[in-house]
Structure 1
Protein backbone atom coordinates (compact mmCIF):
# COMPACT_ATOMS: atom_id res chain seq x y z
CA UNK A 1 0.00 0.00 0.00
CA UNK A 2 1.66 3.15 -1.18
CA UNK A 3 1.29 6.30 0.91
CA UNK A 4 -1.24 4.61 3.18
CA UNK A 5 -2.91 6.87 5.67
CA UNK A 6 -3.45 6.00 9.28
CA UNK A 7 -7.21 5.72 8.70
CA UNK A 8 -6.73 3.35 5.74
CA UNK A 9 -4.42 1.10 7.72
CA UNK A 10 -6.54 1.21 10.86
CA UNK A 11 -9.53 0.01 8.84
CA UNK A 12 -7.68 -3.22 7.94
CA UNK A 13 -8.06 -6.39 9.99
CA UNK A 14 -5.21 -7.22 12.36
CA UNK A 15 -4.24 -10.28 10.29
CA UNK A 16 -3.81 -8.11 7.17
CA UNK A 17 -1.71 -5.61 9.11
CA UNK A 18 0.41 -8.44 10.49
CA UNK A 19 0.97 -9.93 7.03
CA UNK A 20 2.01 -6.58 5.58
CA UNK A 21 4.27 -5.65 8.50
CA UNK A 22 5.88 -9.11 8.58
CA UNK A 23 6.51 -9.10 4.82
CA UNK A 24 8.11 -5.69 5.07
CA UNK A 25 10.23 -6.66 8.09
CA UNK A 26 11.38 -9.88 6.36
CA UNK A 27 12.32 -7.89 3.28
CA UNK A 28 14.30 -5.43 5.43
CA UNK A 29 15.76 -8.26 7.59
CA UNK A 30 14.59 -6.30 10.61
CA UNK A 31 14.97 -8.65 13.57
CA UNK A 32 14.50 -5.71 15.96
CA UNK A 33 10.89 -5.36 14.83
CA UNK A 34 10.18 -9.00 15.70
CA UNK A 35 12.10 -8.76 18.96
CA UNK A 36 10.02 -5.76 20.05
CA UNK A 37 6.80 -7.62 19.26
CA UNK A 38 7.94 -10.74 21.12
CA UNK A 39 8.84 -8.80 24.23
CA UNK A 40 5.58 -6.85 24.29
CA UNK A 41 3.30 -9.81 23.68
CA UNK A 42 5.12 -12.44 25.72
CA UNK A 43 6.29 -10.33 28.68
CA UNK A 44 3.49 -11.57 30.91
CA UNK A 45 3.62 -15.21 29.86
CA UNK A 46 6.27 -17.01 31.90
CA UNK A 47 5.80 -20.19 29.84
CA UNK A 48 7.34 -18.53 26.79
CA UNK A 49 10.41 -17.18 28.54
CA UNK A 50 12.54 -20.30 28.59
CA UNK A 51 15.57 -18.99 26.76
CA UNK A 52 14.48 -19.50 23.15
CA UNK A 53 13.94 -15.83 22.56
CA UNK A 54 17.49 -14.92 23.52
CA UNK A 55 19.09 -16.62 20.55
CA UNK A 56 20.34 -14.00 18.13
CA UNK A 57 21.27 -16.70 15.62
CA UNK A 58 17.65 -17.19 14.58
CA UNK A 59 16.75 -16.21 11.05
CA UNK A 60 13.90 -13.88 10.20
CA UNK A 61 11.81 -16.82 8.98
CA UNK A 62 12.47 -18.62 12.26
CA UNK A 63 11.34 -15.52 14.12
CA UNK A 64 8.12 -15.34 12.10
CA UNK A 65 7.41 -19.03 12.69
CA UNK A 66 8.12 -18.60 16.38
CA UNK A 67 5.82 -15.57 16.57
CA UNK A 68 3.01 -17.60 15.05
CA UNK A 69 3.63 -20.48 17.45
CA UNK A 70 3.75 -18.24 20.51
CA UNK A 71 0.80 -16.01 19.73
CA UNK A 72 -1.40 -18.36 17.76
CA UNK A 73 -2.67 -15.10 16.25
CA UNK A 74 -4.55 -14.42 19.48
CA UNK A 75 -3.24 -11.18 20.89
CA UNK A 76 -5.59 -10.83 23.83
CA UNK A 77 -5.23 -7.59 25.73
CA UNK A 78 -2.12 -6.75 23.68
CA UNK A 79 -4.02 -6.46 20.39
CA UNK A 80 -4.30 -2.64 20.40
CA UNK A 81 -0.56 -2.38 21.05
CA UNK A 82 0.25 -4.95 18.38
CA UNK A 83 -2.02 -3.24 15.82
CA UNK A 84 -0.35 0.09 16.59
CA UNK A 85 3.08 -1.49 16.12
CA UNK A 86 2.06 -3.00 12.78
CA UNK A 87 0.57 0.28 11.53
CA UNK A 88 3.54 2.32 12.73
CA UNK A 89 6.00 -0.04 11.04
CA UNK A 90 4.11 0.00 7.74
CA UNK A 91 3.83 3.79 7.77
CA UNK A 92 7.51 4.27 8.60
CA UNK A 93 9.03 1.71 6.29
CA UNK A 94 6.45 1.04 3.56
CA UNK A 95 6.99 2.40 0.10
Structure 2
Protein backbone atom coordinates (compact mmCIF):
# COMPACT_ATOMS: atom_id res chain seq x y z
CA UNK A 1 0.00 0.00 0.00
CA UNK A 2 1.98 2.97 -1.27
CA UNK A 3 -0.51 5.71 -0.45
CA UNK A 4 -0.40 6.29 3.27
CA UNK A 5 -3.87 7.04 4.64
CA UNK A 6 -2.60 10.21 6.31
CA UNK A 7 -1.25 11.36 2.92
CA UNK A 8 -4.65 10.73 1.37
CA UNK A 9 -6.38 12.61 4.21
CA UNK A 10 -4.44 15.75 3.22
CA UNK A 11 -5.90 15.75 -0.31
CA UNK A 12 -8.99 17.80 -1.14
CA UNK A 13 -12.29 15.99 -1.58
CA UNK A 14 -12.21 16.91 -5.28
CA UNK A 15 -8.74 15.38 -5.69
CA UNK A 16 -9.77 12.22 -3.85
CA UNK A 17 -12.84 11.93 -6.07
CA UNK A 18 -10.81 12.45 -9.23
CA UNK A 19 -8.14 9.91 -8.27
CA UNK A 20 -10.55 7.23 -7.02
CA UNK A 21 -12.90 7.52 -10.01
CA UNK A 22 -10.00 7.54 -12.50
CA UNK A 23 -8.51 4.43 -10.88
CA UNK A 24 -11.87 2.64 -10.81
CA UNK A 25 -12.44 3.50 -14.48
CA UNK A 26 -9.00 2.15 -15.32
CA UNK A 27 -9.68 -1.05 -13.38
CA UNK A 28 -13.24 -1.35 -14.73
CA UNK A 29 -14.21 -1.66 -11.07
CA UNK A 30 -18.00 -1.85 -11.16
CA UNK A 31 -18.10 -2.74 -7.45
CA UNK A 32 -16.55 0.60 -6.54
CA UNK A 33 -19.08 2.51 -8.64
CA UNK A 34 -21.92 0.44 -7.19
CA UNK A 35 -20.70 1.21 -3.66
CA UNK A 36 -20.47 4.88 -4.55
CA UNK A 37 -24.01 4.85 -5.95
CA UNK A 38 -25.28 3.21 -2.78
CA UNK A 39 -23.62 5.87 -0.63
CA UNK A 40 -24.67 8.99 -2.56
CA UNK A 41 -28.13 9.27 -0.94
CA UNK A 42 -26.58 9.06 2.54
CA UNK A 43 -23.88 11.56 1.55
CA UNK A 44 -26.57 13.92 0.24
CA UNK A 45 -28.33 13.68 3.61
CA UNK A 46 -25.09 14.35 5.51
CA UNK A 47 -24.54 17.38 3.27
CA UNK A 48 -28.02 18.66 4.18
CA UNK A 49 -29.60 17.88 0.81
CA UNK A 50 -32.50 15.93 2.30
CA UNK A 51 -34.66 16.06 -0.82
CA UNK A 52 -31.85 14.60 -2.89
CA UNK A 53 -31.29 11.82 -0.35
CA UNK A 54 -34.56 10.21 -1.41
CA UNK A 55 -33.03 8.95 -4.65
CA UNK A 56 -34.78 5.99 -6.19
CA UNK A 57 -33.89 3.36 -8.74
CA UNK A 58 -35.62 5.50 -11.38
CA UNK A 59 -32.92 8.11 -10.79
CA UNK A 60 -30.03 5.70 -11.27
CA UNK A 61 -28.81 7.34 -14.46
CA UNK A 62 -28.58 10.66 -12.63
CA UNK A 63 -26.66 9.00 -9.82
CA UNK A 64 -24.22 7.47 -12.30
CA UNK A 65 -23.62 10.92 -13.74
CA UNK A 66 -23.12 12.33 -10.23
CA UNK A 67 -20.70 9.57 -9.31
CA UNK A 68 -18.60 10.11 -12.40
CA UNK A 69 -18.78 13.89 -12.52
CA UNK A 70 -15.96 15.92 -11.01
CA UNK A 71 -18.33 18.87 -10.53
CA UNK A 72 -20.41 17.49 -7.65
CA UNK A 73 -21.46 19.37 -4.57
CA UNK A 74 -18.32 19.79 -2.43
CA UNK A 75 -20.27 18.89 0.72
CA UNK A 76 -21.37 15.60 -0.84
CA UNK A 77 -17.82 14.90 -1.96
CA UNK A 78 -16.62 15.62 1.58
CA UNK A 79 -19.11 13.07 2.91
CA UNK A 80 -17.76 10.51 0.40
CA UNK A 81 -14.10 11.06 1.42
CA UNK A 82 -13.91 7.84 3.49
CA UNK A 83 -14.89 5.77 0.44
CA UNK A 84 -12.27 7.44 -1.75
CA UNK A 85 -9.56 7.11 0.91
CA UNK A 86 -10.38 3.44 1.54
CA UNK A 87 -10.34 2.66 -2.17
CA UNK A 88 -7.11 4.52 -2.89
CA UNK A 89 -5.36 3.07 0.14
CA UNK A 90 -6.19 -0.47 -1.04
CA UNK A 91 -5.48 0.05 -4.74
CA UNK A 92 -3.10 3.03 -4.82
CA UNK A 93 -0.20 0.95 -6.13
CA UNK A 94 -2.17 0.34 -9.32
CA UNK A 95 -2.77 4.07 -9.69
CA UNK A 96 0.96 4.78 -9.50
CA UNK A 97 1.78 1.96 -11.91
CA UNK A 98 -0.35 3.56 -14.63
CA UNK A 99 0.92 7.12 -14.04
CA UNK A 100 3.36 8.57 -16.59
CA UNK A 101 6.79 7.25 -15.66
CA UNK A 102 5.26 4.51 -13.47
CA UNK A 103 7.31 3.18 -10.57
- Please report the TM-score for the alignment, with normalisation by the length of structure 2: 0.64
Structure 1 residue runs without a partner (length 5+): 56-62
RMSD, matched Cα: 2.9
CA shift, 1:51, in A, is: 2.1
Contact 2:8 2:16 in 1 (8 A): yes
Structure-2 change in CA distance of 1:66 and 1:77 (3 Å): closer
- TM superposition outliers: structure 1 runs of 4+ over 3 Å: 75-78
Q: Name the CA shift for 1:23/1:78 in 2 (closer, same or farther; >3 Å).
A: closer
Structure 2: segments with no counterpart, 5+ residues = 46-52, 94-103
| Residues 28 and 77 (structure 1), Cα distance of their counterparts in 2 relative to 1, 3 Å cut | closer
Aligned length: 83
Considering Cα pairs closer than 8 Å and 6+ residues apart, tell me whether 1 or 2 has the greater RCO. Answer: 1
